[in-house]
Structure 1
Amino acid sequence: MSTPEPKSRTEQLDINQKTEAIFSGGRPVDRDYPYIPPDYKVHFPHIGTDRQLFLDNFILDHLNGVKRELCAPQKAPEPLLYFTDLPWERVQFNPGTAGVVHDPDDGLFKMWYWQGLANEPFNTSQVLCYAESNDALHWEKPLRDDCLPFQEHTATNIVHPDISQSGLALNHDRSDPERKYLLVNWPPKTAAKRAPGSPRLSSVDASPDGIHWHNISEESPLPHHHEQKIIWDEGIQRYIGYSQYSHHQNFLYRKRQIGRQESADFINWSPKEVVLSADWDANLPPDLEMHDMSVRKVGELYIGITSEFMAEPFWQEREGHNWRDQAFSRLGLYTSRDGKRWQRVGGPEPWVDTGSPGDQDYGFACFTPAGELVHNGNLVIPYSANPQKQSWLNQGSPTPSYPPEEFDRRRQAWQARQSLRPDPEPKRAVGGLILREDGWAKLVPEYETGQVYTKQFVFEGDTLRVNADCSYGYLQVELLDPTLTPYEGFSAELCDPLIGERDQIWHTVRWQGKSDLRSLWNKPVRIRFTLCEVSLFAFKFFVSMSE
C-alpha cells in the first residue's frame, strides 16, 4: 500500500525560501506562478493531521444553509488566581501572566505571574511568582523553601527577584536540561544601575524547573518591551514574540500598536515590525489602541487575542509629544495565516467585554498568555481581571493631563463618588475564560439542516474525527472526488450518523462501521458535512492503526 505524501512541518519556511530564491533570480519561475506553493509531488494543499478550525475560510469552500457563529467564552465563576493574604501580596497584588505551560514531563499546568512589592505604578519593584494546577482551572501557589525569601519568610512562591515586561516560554530544544524554560525580561533594578542614556535593557534567563533561574544573556541588541508573548513556531523554525510598540519605546509613535520579532535562539531577535494597528481599520474607533497580544497556533492558523486599550480624552505631554494613559481594556480576536497579516474576527465589537460595575473585570480585561491550556474538553485562557480602569484620578500623575479643566472636573466627580460610596480596596486577579476545546467558532444550520463543503486537499492519517455537539441532532460525512461524487464506500448514505452526549468532544467517522481511509491517500478529497441540528467546531485526520 502506498504511503501519504507528508505535509512539511516547515511548510511556511519552505515557501518563504522558495519565494526569495525566485525573486532573487536564483530559481526559475515555474508553471505555478503567480502562486508559489510548496514543492509537493501531489499538487493539492496538504493538511496532514493538523486540526482544521472555522475561524477563517482557509478550509471552507461553500456553506449551504449553514452559518458561522463566533463562540463567546464563558468567564470562570471564580478567579484562577486571587489575593490570599500572603505577606508579599499585601502591598500590591497586581498579577499578570508572564507565561503558562502544560508541562510535557510531569503533566502539570504551570503559570508564572508578576506582582509588585511596592505600591507604585511603574513596575520597578516586581517579582515573578509561580503557581500550578492539575486541571487549568484550580490553581495553587506552592510555598517552597527553595524559592526566594521575602523578609523573614523563607517558604514562598517567588522565583525571580527583578522582573518587568517579561515573556516566558518552554524551550523547544530539550538538549540542555538547564534551559528547559526561557525568560526574556527587562529587569528594572538592574537597569537602574546603568549609566543615563543607556539603551533599554533586555536580558534572557533560563531554568531547569521554572523555579531556579540563571542568566544566559545580559543584553539583547534589539530589546523587547511591554509584555512580550512568545511561542515556538514550528513552521518557520523560530520563536516569535509579540509585544507593544508605543510611546514606551519611542514617543514618535504615540499609539499603542502590536509589534512582532523572531529569533532562532531566544537571545538574538529581529528588529520589531508593526503588524497590527487600529490605525489601519476604519471599522474601529480612533480611541482604540492595541495594548498587547497573545498568540497560539493551531495547524497553520494563528489566533491572536488583543488587549484593547480604550483611551479616554485626556492626553499626557512630554517634550512636545502626547500620549494617553487613562483607559479601560477589553479583548479582541484576530486571525492570521503568516503571523504578520491579521484580520479581525467578528466585526468591531469586542470578543470579551469588561464586566458590569462591581465585577472583578469591570475596569480591565487584558494580558492573556500565549499558547493553549486544554483539559477534559475545555480550553482555558487566563487573563488579568482588574476591577478598576487605568487612570490617574486616585494618584498623582507623573506629567500633567490635558485639557486640565476637564481632567480636574473628572477627578472631582470621582472624589465625590468615593465620598458617597468608596470603592473597596481593589484586589486584582487572574481570571479565566473557558471555551470548548477548539471551540473558537462553530458552523450551525440556519434552520434545522444544512451542508458544508470544504476545499480539496490531501491528508495523512487513516481515520477522520470531527469536533461536534451532536447531543440533539446528528451529523453525516461524505468524502468527494473532483467530480463531487462520493468516493466508493464513503457516501452520506453509508455514513453512520454521529450522535452523542453534549460533553463528548470528538467523534470518529465511520461508514458501515469502518473508519479506514488509507485507500484515499494522495487523492484529492473534499468533505461534505450534512448537519442536522448540530454544531460543528473542527475536524482532523489522525493515525489510529499501525502499518
Structure 2
Amino acid sequence: MANYFFIKPLAISKIITGMLCGCICLNGIAQEAKTITVKDTLPNGIVLPADWPPKTEDPLSVAPMRVPYLEQPPAVIPVNTGRQLFVDDFLIASTDLQRVFHQANKYQANPVFFPETKEELSGAFDNSAVTYLGQGGVFFDSRERLFKMFYTAGWRGGLAMATSKNLVNWQRPDLGLAGGNIIIPPGPQFAGGDNAIMVDLQTTDSTQRYKAVIERLVDGNWATNYNSKGASPTHTLHTSADGRIWSQGVEMGRASDYTSFFYNPFRSVWAFSIKRNTKRGRARYYTESKDFIRNMDWDSSVYWVGADSLDKPDEQIGDPAQLYSLNAIAYESIMLGEFYIHLGPSNQVCEEGKFPKITELKLGFSRDGFYWHRPDRNAFIAPTRKEGDWDRAYLHGTMGVCLVMGDSLWFPYCGYSGVAPDGSRGMYTGASVGMATLRRDGFASMEAGNKKGVLLTRPVTFSGKYLFVNVDCAAGELMVEVLDETGKKIKGFAAADCKPVSTNSTLQQVTWKNNADLSSLAGKNVRLKFHLRNGKIYSFWVSPDESGASYGYLGAGGPGYDGVIDDKGSKAY
C-alpha cells in the first residue's frame, strides 16, 4: 500500500513515529460479519431490528427518512441517560404546547480565526488565503485544559493546530514538527486533501486518543483527482496519542471528499459517514464497527441519507439540494447531526465566476444513530450570500459539532468570502472560522402563552432522585405533577403539591411541598405532567445528584468537565 506520511528519514522521527503494528491495506483481508443478528436494546428503550445497519433506504427516493422509533416508541422509556430534549414526540404522549425550533446566533466579533501566516495566505490552484475546517475538528482537551482546533492551513495546505482558552482568542503554537503550528506538511501523501479529526476522550488506549481520516488521491496527483470521472479518492485512517505524532495510515475503500466519522456511545460503535455520488447527487453511506480500524469495512456500507423533498432549492439558483456532508456527535440523550446542504451553483459555474458555492448548515436528531428526524428545514447557520462578507457562502461545520460552556452551546463553523486580502478571487478563496451560540438544550422549546398549557409524557422510568428542568418562565410559571402509568395522580406529587417555578435557568430543580425528590418513585413506571404558563421548556432530566448532573453527553466537551459526560451538573457552570 502507499506509504502515506513517508518523508525524509531524518524528519520521519519527528513527524510520523510510533506507527501502528500491522498497518496494512484491509482490502482482501477477511472481515468479520458486519450485520448484527441479535436484537440490541438501547439505553432509551429502543430495540434495534435484527439486521443492522438497516438496508431500508433508497438512493433514488426523495421522500424524507422514516423514523421507526417515532412511529413505534417503546412502551416505557428509561430516562437515566442525559437531559431529555423535546426535539420530537418520542417522549410526548399529548400536549397543547407549541414546539418552536431555534437557530444559532453568530458571534458578533466573527471571524475569530483567519489567514495570517505565510502558509495560510499562500495560493494553490488559483485559490488563496484559507484557514478551513474541512472537516478538521474542534474539541476541548480536558487533560491540557485547552480548546484545540485542527484545520487546513492554506488551500490544499498542511494539517495545523491552534489552541484557545475561550474559543474566541486563538494561538498558533510552535509544535517543532513541520514548521510553526503545522503538524503534517502539505502534499498528496502527507496532509492529503480534506480530513476529519476527533479527540476520543473515552478511550482506555492512550495511543489512540486522537483519530483521523484523511482523503488521498486517485493516483497521487491533484489534477487527476479533480478530472477523474470514474474513480474516487481513497482514504486512510490514523491514530495518535497527542494529535501531533500520527500512525501510518490504514487504507480504506474509495469514497468522495468530506467523508467523516463519529462515535455512538449509546451503542459503543464507530460509524463512518461516507460521501458518495448517487443519481441524485451527493449523499451519504453508512458503516460501523466496534473498533475504529480493525474490522472497519467501507465496501459493506449501506446507503444512508441524502437531501430530500423538504430541502428546497435556493430561489435564485434553482438547483436541486444535495447532502454535501454530515457530521454527528452525542449530545445529552441524542445523536446530534449537522447536515451541510449544498444548494449550488455547480463547481464549473463557481470556478468560472470565481465565487464560492452555497452550503447551509441544518440540524437533524437521532435516537439510534442511523435514522434522522429533521423537523426544521430552516438553516441553523446560514451564509449571508453578500459579497464582501467573510461568511458569504460555502459554510462548513466541523468534527465535534458543538462544545459546552456553562449555559451555552458553541458551534464552530467555516465560511468563504471568495476574496483574499490582496483582492484576488477564487471559488475556494478567503476562508475563515467563526463561532455561533445557542442556549444549552436550545434546539427546540415547548411553549405556552398566557393560557396555561400541558405536556404529558409517555410512561418513563428512572433510577435517579432529583427532577431538573431547563426552563424560561421568569414571567410565568411551571408546575410538574407525577402520575402513575395509567394516568392516576400519585399522592404528594400533584400539581397543587409542586412548588411553582418562575425563573429562567438551564438547570433548575423541581420539588414538591412534602417531597424534595423522586426517590420514592425510582424504578416505577410513571408519567410526568408539565403545567406551563408564559414560558418555554427545553428539557427535563432525573439526576442521582443534587448538582443536577445529567450523565449525558457533552458534544466535543467543555471547560468544567473531565471528559464528555456531564458528571458535574451545577459545579461546571
| Band of TM-score, shorter chain | 0.7 to 0.9
**Distance apart, 1:525 and its partner CA:** 1.2
Aligned counterparts of 1:354 and 1:213: Cα–Cα separation in 2: 34
Map of 2:198 onto structure 1: 169
1:460 equivalent among 455, 458, 463: 463
Displacement of 1:68: 0.5
* Residue in 2 that maps onto 1:412: none
- Which residue of 2 is the match for residue 421 of structure 1? none
Give the Cα–Cα distance (whole angstroms) in 1 for the partners of residues 344 and 412 of structure 2. Answer: 23
Please name the residue that 1:180 is paired with.
209
Q: Which residue of 2 aligns with 1:120?
A: none
Superposition TM-score, scaled by structure 2 size: 0.71
Q: 2:139 aligns with which of 90, 94, 101?
A: 101
Q: In 2, Cα distance between the equivalents of 1:187 and 1:158?
A: 19
* Residues 202-237 of structure 1: CA deviation (Å, up to 9, x unaligned): 21222212222232x4312x3444223322112222
Q: Choose from 385, 390, 405 the match for 1:375.
A: 405
- Structure 1 match to 2:163: 132
CA shift for structure 1 position 306: 1.3
After superposition, residues 148-227 of structure 1 pair within 5 angstroms as 148-149=178-179, 156-161=180-185, 162-171=191-200, 174-188=203-217, 191-192=220-221, 200-215=233-248, 217-220=249-252, 222-227=253-258
Distance 1:340 1:165 in 2: 24
The Cα shift of 1:308 comes to 1.3
Structure 2 residue aligned with 1:47 = 79
1:284 counterpart = 2:312? yes
Aligned match of 2:8: none
Aligned to 2:373, the other structure's residue is in SS state strand
Q: Which residue of 1 is the match for residue 88 of structure 2?
A: 56
Q: Is the 8 A contact 1:293 1:368 kept in 2?
A: no
SS in 1 for 2:511: coil
Distance 1:111 1:530 in 2: 43
Alignment equivalent of 2:384, drawn from 355, 358, 380: 355
Cα 1:128–1:230 shift into 2, 3 Å: same
Partner of residue 345 from structure 1, selected from 375, 387, 390 = 375
Shift of 1:180: 1.0
* Structure 1: tracts of 5 or more residues without a match: 1-7, 21-34, 118-124, 150-155, 247-251, 317-324, 398-424
Provide TM-score, normalisation by structure 1: 0.74
Q: CA deviation at 1:188?
A: 5.0
* Equivalent residue number for residue 510 of structure 1: 511
Does structure 2 conserve the Cα–Cα contact (< 8 Å) formed by 1:479 and 1:527? Answer: yes
* Cα distance in 2 between the residues matched to 1:199 and 1:312: 22
Give SS of 2:272's match: strand
Given the alignment of the two structures, is residue 542 of structure 1 paired with residue 543 of structure 2, yes or no? yes
Ranges in structure 2 where 5+ consecutive residues have no aligned partner: 1-39, 53-70, 123-127, 186-190, 314-318, 350-354, 548-573
Matched residue type, 2:358? F
> Secondary structure of 1:178's match?
helix
2:98 aligned residue (58, 67, 72): 67
Superimposed CA distance per residue, residues 5-54 of structure 1 (whole angstroms, 9 cap, x where no aligned partner):
xxx9854899347578xxxxxxxxxxxxxx9999xxxx722222322111
Cα shift at 1:533: 1.2
Residue in 2 aligned with 1:332?
Answer: 362
| Offset, 1:172 | 5.7
Paired residues, what number? 456
What percentage of residue pairs aligned between the two structures are identical? 23
The C-alpha deviation readout for 1:65-106, integer Å capped at 9, x for no partner, is x10000111011123542252222221324114112222323
Contact 1:49 / 1:459 at 8 angstroms: preserved in 2? Answer: no
The whole-number CA distance in structure 1 between the counterparts of 2:289 and 2:169 is 32
Residue 308 of structure 1 pairs with residue 341 of structure 2: yes
2:287 corresponding residue in structure 1: 261
CA RMSD, Structure 1 to Structure 2 (Å): 3.4
Given that residues 15 and 37 in structure 1 are in contact (C-alpha distance below 8 angstroms), is that contact kept between their aligned partners in structure 2? no
Which residue is 1:401 aligned to? none
> In 2 relative to 1, CA 339–470 (structure 1 residues): closer, same or farther, beyond 3 Å?
same
**Secondary structure of the corresponding residue to residue 207 of structure 2:** helix
SS in structure 2 of the partner of residue 329 of structure 1: strand
Q: Does 1:115 align with 2:115?
A: no
Change (3 A) 1:176 1:262: same
In structure 2, give the amino acid aligned to 1:54. F
- Structure 2 distance, partners of 1:520, 1:13, is 19
